[in-house]
């Protein structure tokens, strides 16, 4: 029973169910075989060969041709060797490994950029096909003088130059959703999510402002025109696709992945669809969630159907916010590029 006055209701008790009667399409497999260009398989590698073979069964059932593992090295607790032994060597066509930079190098003092570039060259010689940069760059990593290290810091330039020479892409994550940089009050659209994950709140204190990180990202990509960049999560600025679109127009070496952002795209379906049609050659399919069938299927449904107002997650209180999403019914030529062709073009050794 609810209290008599609406003023006494609790948010947790308000769980409205939609009365809309609409067409629903279940999309079990993508229309074209897909490459998941953004995932973290450290946990699966740690579990061993049986977990890997279960993952392959799931990939087969979901029409996933290959998966990029961004956890191959420092910070993910699985080494490149383990990833090579359990993923790449037994299944060379199914897994793609990205080297994770070792930020402990910064503590070793001057010349850290050169040393990290040398690490990258060695990792590529051993089988890495790209490099991943975690969002801690720009938020938490400090230089030997104790100052926050920004993504466009000149001392890191050797890493990006090396990636350009090696012909491998840099997949980087800068910042996080816009609301994570806002005060934590009743106007914050991610309030419920941030209440569960206070460590994702980057407002005030030592944290840079969101705009500062976006400007650093733009300078980084402009400064290395011969390096291919894949900006995770649509430059972390899916809330402003105009901004992302302008940066893509200005920087032919920039690409984006849609991982962990279909929820945001799906609540702005007209703008999102126009964005995908305009930048069809520059967007990579990716998950960045635990490999689970239901989750991939929502993503396929979002990309392929014109279904309206459907839940993006299971459960009455979806993690990112209380909204539903709309499909963007992409045409076949765009789906082919987004699902696999763009990843195959940008990542060496991928067919
Ligand atoms: Zn990720």
Phi then psi dihedrals of residue 253, to 5 deg: -85, 0
CA–CA gap between residue 141 and residue 138 (Å, rounded): 7
Residues 27/304, Cβ–Cβ less than 8 Å? yes
299 CA → ligand 1 middle, Å: 16
Q: What is the pLDDT, as a whole number, of residue 15?
A: 87
- pLDDT tens for 284-293 read 999 999 999 9
Q: What is the pLDDT, as a whole number, of residue 315?
A: 83
281 CA → ligand 1 middle, Å: 21
Taking a 5 Å cut-off on Cβ, the residues next to ion ligand 1 are: 288
Phi then psi dihedrals of residue 171, to 5 deg: -95, 110
235 CA → ligand 1 middle, Å: 13
Domain boundaries, the chain: 31-292+330-346
Secondary structure of residue 5 in the 3-state scheme: coil
In this structure, how many other beta carbons lie within 10 angstroms of the beta carbon of residue 2?
10
97 CA → ligand 1 middle, Å: 13
135 CA → ligand 1 middle, Å: 9
288 CA → ligand 1 middle, Å: 5
Residues with Cβ within 8 Å of residue 107, at least 6 apart in sequence: 144
CA–CA gap between residue 336 and residue 331 (Å, rounded): 9
pTM for the structure as a whole: 0.96
Query: Which CATH number does the domain 31-292+330-346 belong to among 3.20.20.140, 3.40.50.1970, 3.40.50.10490, 2.40.340.10?
Result: 3.20.20.140
Residues 74/137, Cβ–Cβ less than 8 Å? no
**157-161 long-range contacts, Cβ below 8 Å, gap at least 24?**
157/113, 157/223, 157/224, 158/113, 158/114, 158/116, 158/117, 159/101, 159/113, 159/116, 159/117, 159/120, 159/131, 160/220, 160/223, 160/224, 160/227, 161/117, 161/224, 161/227
Secondary structure of residue 164 in the 3-state scheme: helix
Q: What is the pLDDT, as a whole number, of residue 43?
A: 93
Cα 124 vs. chain centroid, distance in angstroms? 22
9 CA → ligand 1 middle, Å: 37
CA–CA gap between residue 227 and residue 255 (Å, rounded): 11
In this structure, how many other beta carbons lie within 10 angstroms of the beta carbon of residue 82?
18
For the record, the structure tokens of 268 come out as 């702005």
Task: Measure CA of the first residue to CA of the last residue in the chain; give whole Å.
Answer: 59
150 CA → ligand 1 middle, Å: 19
Phi then psi dihedrals of residue 272, to 5 deg: -65, -45
181-217 residues labelled b (16+ CB within 10 A) or e (exposed): bbebeeebbbbbbbeeeeeebbeeeebbebeebbebb
Q: What is the pLDDT, as a whole number, of residue 14?
A: 86
> Which residues in the chain land under pLDDT 50?
none
304 CA → ligand 1 middle, Å: 23
Say which DSSP state 231 is in: E
């Amino acid at each position: 029973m609810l209290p008599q006055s609406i003023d006494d209701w609790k948010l947790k008790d308000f769980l409205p169910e939609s009365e809309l009667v609409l067409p629903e399409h279940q999309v079990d497999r993508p229309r074209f075989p897909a490459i998941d260009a953004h995932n973290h398989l450290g946990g699966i590698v740690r579990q061993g060969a049986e977990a890997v073979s279960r993952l392959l069964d799931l990939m087969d059932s979901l029409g996933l041709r290959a998966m990029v593992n961004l956890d191959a090295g420092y910070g993910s607790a699985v080494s490149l060797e383990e990833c090579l032994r359990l993923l790449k060597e037994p299944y060379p066509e199914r897994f793609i490994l990205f080297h994770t930079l070792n930020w402990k190098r910064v503590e070793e003092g001057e010349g850290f950029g050169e040393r990290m570039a040398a690490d990258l060259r060695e990792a590529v010689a051993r089988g890495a096909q790209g490099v991943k940069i975690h969002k801690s760059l720009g938020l938490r990593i400090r230089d030997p003088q104790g100052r926050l290290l920004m993504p466009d810091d000149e001392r890191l330039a050797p890493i990006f130059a090396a990636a350009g020479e090696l012909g491998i892409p840099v997949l980087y994550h800068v910042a996080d959703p816009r609301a994570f940089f806002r005060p934590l009050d009743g106007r914050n659209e991610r309030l419920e999510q941030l209440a569960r994950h206070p460590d994702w709140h980057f407002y005030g204190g030592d944290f840079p402002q969101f705009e500062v990180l976006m400007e650093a990202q733009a300078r980084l990509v402009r400064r290395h025109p011969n390096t291919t960049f894949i900006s995770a999560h649509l430059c972390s600025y899916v809330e402003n696709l105009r901004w992302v679109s302008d940066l893509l127009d200005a920087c032919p070496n920039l690409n984006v992945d849609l991982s962990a952002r279909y929820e945001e795209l799906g609540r702005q379906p007209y703008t999102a669809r126009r964005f995908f049609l305009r930048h069809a050659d520059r967007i990579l399919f990716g998950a960045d969630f635990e490999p689970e069938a239901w989750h991939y299927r929502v993503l396929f449904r979002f990309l392929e159907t014109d279904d309206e107002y459907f839940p993006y997650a299971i459960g009455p209180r979806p993690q990112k916010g209380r909204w539903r999403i709309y499909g963007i019914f992409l045409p076949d030529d765009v789906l082919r590029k987004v699902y696999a062709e763009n990843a195959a073009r940008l990542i060496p050794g991928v067919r």
